């Protein structure tokens, strides 16, 4: 009896320790400051209305540039009816996105939204540069674990395979988010011209008011 309760105490103590260790590990991440962290969204999460659905605490900090990554489209999504945006480490290329500040308590939620536990994405700490003041800020980025074969970033439209095309709805969300965030025109023009599969998701078109978004 005494041995059992001693064991219980030990187990409880260990659990407590691991919880504290988990928290202090998070606090050591460069993108964490106090009870907040910085997150870099480059796909649908450039759009405020979109990120606020699951992350209502996200606060807009501005358009930001990520160096040595390219945006590609690879993972198929039933929800969006096409390929979704993916950041792939690529020397010399650049990706624009939106920098958000989110409550630290929501970090595990964001990890699970991104499918970290499924091995789809892994979180990395990167440095991005805010467009407004050139300040370098450490941010959390989700990188695809299975890198797509070939680079469709700068392929001419007719050469982008169907399984690498986003839906019209997804591309419109990105364009709307990029415009709203103040991302440079040149990047938005590239986005608008990217080959899409012409599929739309009506309830998302309505929710995000995409009618007026021209591609």
Establish whether 40 is an annotated binding residue: yes
Q: Which of 31, 101, 114, 209 is catalytic?
A: 114
Cα–Cα dist 26/34, whole Å: 10
Q: According to the 3-state scheme, what is the secondary structure of 58-102?
A: CEEEEEEEEEEEEEEEEEEECCCCEEEEEEEEEEEEEEEEEEEEE
| Phi, psi values for residue 91, rounded to 5° | -60, 135
Cα–Cα dist 90/69, whole Å: 5
Establish whether 121 is an annotated binding residue: no
Tell me if residue 205 is catalytic. no
Q: Using an 8 Å Cβ cutoff, are 127 and 136 in contact?
A: yes
Establish whether 43 is an annotated binding residue: yes
Establish whether 18 is an annotated binding residue: no
Establish whether 38 is an annotated binding residue: no
Catalytic residues: 114
> Binding site residues, as ranges?
39-44, 170
> Binding site residues for substrate, as ranges?
39-44, 170
């Amino acid at each position: 009896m005494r041995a059992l309760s001693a064991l219980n105490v030990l187990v409880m103590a260990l659990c407590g320790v691991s919880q504290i260790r988990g928290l202090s590990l998070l606090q050591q991440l460069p993108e964490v400051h106090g009870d907040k962290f910085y997150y870099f969204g480059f796909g649908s999460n450039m759009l405020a209305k979109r990120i606020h659905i699951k992350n209502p605490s996200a606060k807009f900090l501005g358009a930001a540039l990520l160096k040595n990554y390219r945006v590609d489209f690879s993972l198929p999504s039933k929800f969006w009816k096409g390929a979704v945006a993916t950041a792939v480490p690529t020397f010399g290329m650049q990706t624009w996105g939106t920098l958000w500040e989110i409550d630290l308590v929501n970090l595990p939620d964001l990890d699970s939204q991104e499918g970290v536990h499924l091995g789809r994405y892994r979180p990395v700490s990167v440095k991005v540069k805010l467009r407004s003041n050139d300040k370098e800020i450490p941010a959390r980025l989700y990188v695809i674990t299975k890198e797509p074969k070939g680079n469709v970033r700068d392929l001419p439209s007719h050469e982008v395979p169907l399984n690498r095309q986003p839906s019209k709805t997804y591309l419109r969300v990105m364009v709307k988010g990029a415009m709203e965030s103040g991302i440079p025109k040149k990047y938005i023009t590239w986005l608008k011209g990217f080959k899409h599969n012409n599929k739309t998701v009506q309830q998302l078109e309505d929710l995000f008011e995409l009618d007026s978004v021209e591609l």
